[in-house]
């Protein structure tokens, strides 16, 4: 039971970070392909992560979760910083 709760929490964390990144990407008007490239994902990996985040697939094996979380955090920070700078110039 405890292990299933841990997996559930892990899945939720991954989904929420991917969703946050997606929302920032949408605000920046980045295409799905641009967002995929920012995360250094192949088309297949992007499809697997997108399916996972829509509750349509299992947690993808690649890139491994710690790597993906670092990529999501870094990319989200960079995009948010760019958005802030763009808003400051507007």
Determine the Cα–Cα distance for residues 89 and 75; give it in Å rounded to an integer. Answer: 21
- Number of neighbours of residue 9 by Cβ within 10 angstroms: 10
Tens digits of per-residue pLDDT, 35-72? 999 999 999 999 999 999 998 888 999 999 999 999 99
* All structural domains of the chain with their residue ranges: 2-89
- Number of neighbours of residue 43 by Cβ within 10 angstroms: 10
Tens digits of per-residue pLDDT, 48-57? 999 999 988 8
| Average pLDDT estimate for 30-34 | 95
The pLDDT of residue 4 is above 80:
no
Determine the Cα–Cα distance for residues 55 and 39; give it in Å rounded to an integer. Answer: 20
> What pTM was computed for the model?
0.86
CA angle 46, 53, 20 (to 5 degrees): 90
User: What mean pLDDT, rounded, does the chain reach?
Assistant: 90
Determine the Cα–Cα distance for residues 8 and 73; give it in Å rounded to an integer. Answer: 20
The pLDDT of residue 1 is above 60:
no
Determine the Cα–Cα distance for residues 77 and 72; give it in Å rounded to an integer. Answer: 8
């Amino acid at each position: 039971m405890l292990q299933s709760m841990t997996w559930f929490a892990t899945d939720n964390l991954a989904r929420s970070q991917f969703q946050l990144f997606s929302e920032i990407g949408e605000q920046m008007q980045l295409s799905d392909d641009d967002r995929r490239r920012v995360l250094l994902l192949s088309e297949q990996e992007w499809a697997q992560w997108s399916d996972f985040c829509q509750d349509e697939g299992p947690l993808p094996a690649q890139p491994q979760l710690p790597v993906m979380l670092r990529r999501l955090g870094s990319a989200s920070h960079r995009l948010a910083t760019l958005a802030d700078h763009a808003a400051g110039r507007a």
